[in-house]
Amino acid sequence: MKITKLVFIISLFFSGAASATLWNVDGVLHGIDGGFGFSSLHDAGDSSPMSGAEFTKINSASGTYNDVTGMVDFTFGLANTDMLHLTGTLMFDEMGGGLSTNSELNYTGLDITGGTTIADIGAFGYMPNNVCCSGSFAPNSFLPASGDLNYMTLWGADFGSNIFDGSYKGSTVGMDFRLELSAVPIPAAFWLFGSAIFGFIKFSRKAKV
């Protein structure tokens, strides 16, 4: 009976672990898609996260995304030497790949100068589904590309309220970025652990005979 319970617990462990995918950020992409460029921070113009003069480019990116919990932990290196850290939760629709609801990511480390300065600590808001425009990858989406690569594209802006309600009124800085991500391989030790446990179970059964 004890062995049966152990097998059941291990099965739950393996099934739960297999259901989540952790994605590593491989890099930040630059270019134009659907008439809009990416990846940079720019003047939000009090209402739009996707237009206005560019403040600074996002030169580098690192971090992880968990597609089950939605947990985001990104760090961006900006051309103005700031290091922008984003944390929070993003949930995407499985079929369409778009954000499932209004979302926000907390930021630290931002201090844009040269006419515009915002708080060092705050949040960016992102609207659900396709925000606008044509192109290969819609804003605010996470879709498979080719091979083992996926692209996450987000366009949003800072906002004034405690909870993002879809309004960018009063926004100062817009953010757009496209990240290239790849699935983190499950360590070999994970599978060896499972093999060892099942080997132990088999040995225990033989010992009882």
Other Cβ atoms closer than 10 A to 10? 15
Dist CA 72 CA 88 (whole Å): 5
For residue 148, what pLDDT is reported?
Answer: 61
Which residues in the chain show pLDDT less than 70? 1-20, 95-96, 112-119, 130-131, 134, 144-149, 185-209
Please choose, from the candidates 75, 165, 177, the residue with its C-alpha nearest in 3D space to the C-alpha of residue 127. 165
Please choose, from the candidates 60, 46, 94, the residue with its C-alpha nearest in 3D space to the C-alpha of residue 177. 60
For residue 124, what pLDDT is reported?
Answer: 93
| Cβ contacts of 82 within 8 Å, gap of 6 or more | 56, 109, 110, 111, 112
For residue 56, what pLDDT is reported?
Answer: 87
Question: What would the two tokens of residue 170 be?
Answer: 């009063």
CB contact at 8 A, 92 and 141? yes
